[in-house]
């Protein structure tokens, strides 16, 4: 696939005065404080499956505190970090992504939203005061989860479906299978054996994939690397913005909207000069939740494009696949010949 490099556009000086949606290197910017943003959310989900949100309401101190704690952890000697691993699938991981041979120039921490599943020993890896890390994690996740639910309810309003909590209730459920990930992409050395490259100038940080959950909320520091795939197969680079959040439509939301919303394919290229830290909340439904197109979103002349499946079935299938696989193809309805 051709990589389309677009120069970073100068950051907006006063984000509060921007229009509800603005094209920014091909990525819509949506102001969540505007009453008509629900229409632009739907448009962005239909056309790209990806957008940036501003005026999001997440306190800046929550963002900066967790990033500081993450950087402190990732700066530890490898032998110390490995005490929080290996990922099975939760915990600390390095280079290997999942069980099926995918690798990247990355180290990461993967958490379940229910941190009670981690032992006190796990958090003792995070410095002399592990409660500082746990507190920063809880504050950030709570705020981002609320924003994700608000966005999902605005989507439901924009689609004119009731109740407006039809998507958000799956994240609010006590049994919600949501996870949180901290990714660190160190500056890359000269490419050598075992380092996966896209071409002579680009090293794979995290290979191309879609997210299987309902919605993903991404925030990163001011280092480039994120790319999304357009419908024509070209890739565009997403300029970093450490003050805003990027939203991905996941596979489950694509199914629930019967393909109306697009699950965006994306990847991360490692930076040769600066480290990149990203924090991603993956909003997932309960394991027993049945995923299928919502009847109000299937028009009279249409049929359901997907078989009904539980989130557990889809999660298991995704976990057993390679990153770049089209996971949804196994759950599509095949038209009778």
> How far is CA 186 from each of CA 110, 156, 291, rounded to the nearest angstrom?
17, 39, 37
Residues acting as catalytic residues:
276
Two tokens, residue 296: 């109000």
Residue 313 token pair: 């079935």
User: 60-74 and 130-159 are packed helices; what angle lies between their axes, rounded to 10 degrees?
Assistant: 130
User: Using an 8 Å Cβ cutoff, are 116 and 131 in contact?
Assistant: no
The edge-to-edge listing of strands for the beta sheet with 226-229 is 3-4, 235-237, 226-229, 266-269, 202-209, 197-199
C-alpha–C-alpha distance, residues 71 and 11, integer Å: 25
The whole-angstrom separation of Cα 174 and Cα 256 is 21
Cα distances (angstroms) measured from residue 285 to each of 114, 173, 196, 296 = 14, 8, 33, 20
- Rounded CA gap, 87 and 102, in Å? 14
Per the listing, tokens 């943003």 go with 37
């Amino acid at each position: 696939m051709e990589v389309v490099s677009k120069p970073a556009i100068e950051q907006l000086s006063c984000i509060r005065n921007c229009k509800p949606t603005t094209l920014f290197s091909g990525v819509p910017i949506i102001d969540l404080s505007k009453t008509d943003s629900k229409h632009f959310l739907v448009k962005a989900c239909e056309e790209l499956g990806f957008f940036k949100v501003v005026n999001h309401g997440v306190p800046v101190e929550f963002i900066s505190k967790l990033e500081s704690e993450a950087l402190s952890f990732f700066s530890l000697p490898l032998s110390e970090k490995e005490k929080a691993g290996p990922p099975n699938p939760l915990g600390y991981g390095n280079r290997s992504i999942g069980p099926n041979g995918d690798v990247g120039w990355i180290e990461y921490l993967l958490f379940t939203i229910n941190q009670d599943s981690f032992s006190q020993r796990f958090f003792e890896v995070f410095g002399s005061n592990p409660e500082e890390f746990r507190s920063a994690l809880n504050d950030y996740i709570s705020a981002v989860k609320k924003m994700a639910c608000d966005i999902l309810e605005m989507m439901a309003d924009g689609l004119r479906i009731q109740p407006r909590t039809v998507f958000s209730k799956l994240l609010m459920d006590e049994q919600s299978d949501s996870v949180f990930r901290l990714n660190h992409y160190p500056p890359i050395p000269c490419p050598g054996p075992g380092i996966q490259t896209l071409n002579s100038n680009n090293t794979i940080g995290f290979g191309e994939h879609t997210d299987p959950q309902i919605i993903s909320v991404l925030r990163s520091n001011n280092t480039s690397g994120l790319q999304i795939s357009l419908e024509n197969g070209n890739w565009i680079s997403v300029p970093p913005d450490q003050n805003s959040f990027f939203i991905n439509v996941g596979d489950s939301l694509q199914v629930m909207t019967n393909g109306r919303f697009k699950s965006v394919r994306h990847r991360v290229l490692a930076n040769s000069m600066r480290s990149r830290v990203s924090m991603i909340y993956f909003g997932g439904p309960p394991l027993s939740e049945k995923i299928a197109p919502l009847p109000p979103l299937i028009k009279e002349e249409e049929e359901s494009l997907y078989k009904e499946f539980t989130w557990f079935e889809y999660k298991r299938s995704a976990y057993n696949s390679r990153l770049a696989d089209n996971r949804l193809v196994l759950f599509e309805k095949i038209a009778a010949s």
